[in-house]
C-alpha cells in the first residue's frame, strides 16, 4: 500500500493520480528525473541557439543579403568560447547521459527504445549530409549525441538481457534471488570498467589547458589513414585528429557513462530510496517535467526548427 501512504484526501487530483498508479492504469513517473532531463534539454536548446547566432545565421544573411540579428553574433561567439559555457556543458551532458542510464533500469524495453533512436540518428545524418552539400558546409552529423545514445541503449539492452538470461537458470532460493539481482548491475559494471580502461589506460584524459575542463584523446593509431581514424573516432577521441561531424560524441566515454548510470538506477530506483523526492512533487515542477517527458522529441525538433527560424527571419527581413 506504499502508493497510498502519501495520498491526499479522496477526490483530490493527487489522490486520483495515486490510485491510478497503484491500480496499474498509470505508470508512476519519478518527477525528479523528468525535471533534470527537461532542464538539461532547455540548456542544450539555448546552447544550440547561440551556436546558430554566430554560425548558421551569418550564412542565412549572406544568402539573402541581409543583416538579420547580426549584432548578436559577437555576443554568441563570446558565450560559445567562454570557460563558463564549456564547464557547464560538461556537467549538463554528463547529467543527461547518466539519467539516460538510470532510465534504462526502469524498463525491459530497451531494445524498443534503441530502434527509434537509431532511425532518428540515420535521419539526422541523411538530412545534414544534404545540407552540408547544398547550403551549410560543416553541417553533416556523422556520429552525434543521438547516435551515441542509440549505441549506449543498445549496449545496455544486450548486457541486461544477458544478465536476465543467466539469472533465469539459477533456480529458487535466497542465494539465487540475490545473484539474479546482482547480475542486473552488469551493464553499469561494464560501463565503469570501460571508463577506467579509457582514462587509467591512457587512452583519454581530462584537460584544463583551454581554461575549462574537457575530455581529450590520448589514443594515436600509428600509420592509420584518415578513413581508419574516422572509424576509430566513432569509438573514442583520437589524439590530434579532427573528426568532421557537426555534432560529435564518441561511444567512449559517453556511452560508457550511460551504462554507468545504470548503477545509480539500481541503487536508488530499485530500493525504497526511490520515494525520497516524492514529497517535493507539486504543481511548481509541471512545466519542466512535461519538457523532460518529451526530451527526445524536443531535442531533435529544435535542431531543425531553430535553423529554419533563422533562415525564415533572414528571408522575411530581406523583403522589408
* DSSP 8-state class, residue 206: E
- Tell me the C-alpha distance between 131 and 44, whole Å: 21
pLDDT of residue 101: 97
The H-assigned helical ranges of 236-294 are 251-269, 286-293
Residue 287 CB-density burial (10 A; 0-12 exposed, 13-18 middle, 19+ buried): exposed
Distance CA 44, CA 238 (A): 25
Start-to-end Cα distance in the chain = 65
Tell me the C-alpha to C-alpha distance, in Å, between residue 46 and each of 41, 52, 53, 85, 183. Answer: 9, 10, 11, 11, 40
d(CA 85, CA 89): 6
The C-alpha cell at 160 is 541486461
CB-based contacts of 263, cutoff 8 Å, min separation 6 = 185, 188, 189, 191, 192
| CA–CA distance, 304 with 146 (Å, rounded to integer) | 14
The pLDDT value given to residue 2: 38
Q: What integer pLDDT is reported at residue 216 of this predicted model?
A: 96
Q: How far is CA 70 from the centre of its chain?
A: 31
Q: Dihedrals φ, ψ of 221, to 5°?
A: -65, 130
| pLDDT at 145 (0 to 100) | 95
Under-50 pLDDT residues of the chain: 1-26
Contacts of 83 (CB under 8 A, 6+ apart): 211, 212
Helix (H, G, I), strand (E, B) or coil at 221: coil
Q: What is the pLDDT of residue 27?
A: 62
pTM: predicted TM-score of the whole model, two decimal places: 0.88
Q: CA 66 → CA 3, 23, 84, 316, distances in Å?
A: 59, 59, 31, 10
76: Cβ contacts below 8 Å, ≥ 6 apart: 50, 51, 53, 54
Is residue 67 within 8 Å of residue 61, measured between CB atoms?
yes
d(CA 247, CA 144): 5
Cβ atoms within 10 Å of 317's Cβ, excluding its own:
17
Amino acid at each position: 500500500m506504499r502508493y497510498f501512504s502519501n495520498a491526499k484526501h479522496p477526490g483530490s487530483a493527487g489522490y486520483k493520480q495515486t490510485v491510478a498508479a497503484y491500480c496499474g492504469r498509470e505508470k508512476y513517473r519519478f518527477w525528479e528525473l523528468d525535471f533534470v532531463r527537461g532542464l538539461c534539454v532547455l540548456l542544450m536548446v539555448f546552447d544550440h541557439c547561440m551556436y546558430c547566432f554566430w554560425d548558421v545565421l551569418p550564412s542565412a544573411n549572406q544568402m539573402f543579403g541581409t543583416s538579420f540579428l547580426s549584432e548578436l553574433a559577437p555576443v554568441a561567439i563570446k558565450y560559445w568560447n567562454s570557460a563558463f559555457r564549456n564547464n557547464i556543458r560538461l556537467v549538463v551532458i554528463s547529467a543527461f547521459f547518466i539519467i539516460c542510464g538510470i532510465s534504462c533500469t526502469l524498463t525491459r524495453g530497451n531494445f524498443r527504445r534503441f530502434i527509434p533512436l537509431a532511425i532518428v540518428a540515420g535521419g539526422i545524418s541523411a538530412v545534414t549530409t544534404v545540407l552540408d552539400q547544398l547550403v551549410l558546409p560543416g553541417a553533416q552529423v556523422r556520429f552525434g549525441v543521438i547516435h551515441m545514445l542509440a549505441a549506449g541503449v543498445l549496449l545496455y539492452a544486450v548486457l541486461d538481457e544477458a544478465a536476465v538470461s543467466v539469472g533465469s537458470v539459477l533456480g529458487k532460493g535466497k542465494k539465487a534471488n540475490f545473484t539474479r539481482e546482482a547480475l542486473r548491475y552488469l551493464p553499469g559494471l561494464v560501463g565503469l570498467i570501460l571508463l577506467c580502461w579509457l582514462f587509467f589506460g591512457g587512452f583519454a584524459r581530462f584537460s584544463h589547458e583551454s581554461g575549462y575542463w574537457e575530455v581529450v584523446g590520448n589514443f594515436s593509431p600509428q600509420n592509420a589513414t584518415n578513413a581508419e581514424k574516422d572509424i576509430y573516432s566513432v569509438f573514442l577521441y583520437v589524439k590530434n585528429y579532427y573528426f568532421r561531424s557537426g555534432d560529435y560524441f564518441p561511444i567512449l566515454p559517453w556511452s560508457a557513462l550511460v551504462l554507468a548510470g545504470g548503477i545509480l538506477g539500481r541503487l536508488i530506483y530499485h530500493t525504497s530510496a526511490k520515494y525520497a523526492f516524492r514529497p517535493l512533487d507539486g504543481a511548481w515542477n509541471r512545466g519542466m517535467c512535461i519538457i523532460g517527458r518529451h526530451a527526445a522529441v524536443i531535442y531533435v525538433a529544435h535542431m531543425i526548427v531553430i535553423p529554419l527560424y533563422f533562415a525564415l527571419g533572414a528571408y522575411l527581413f530581406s523583403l522589408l
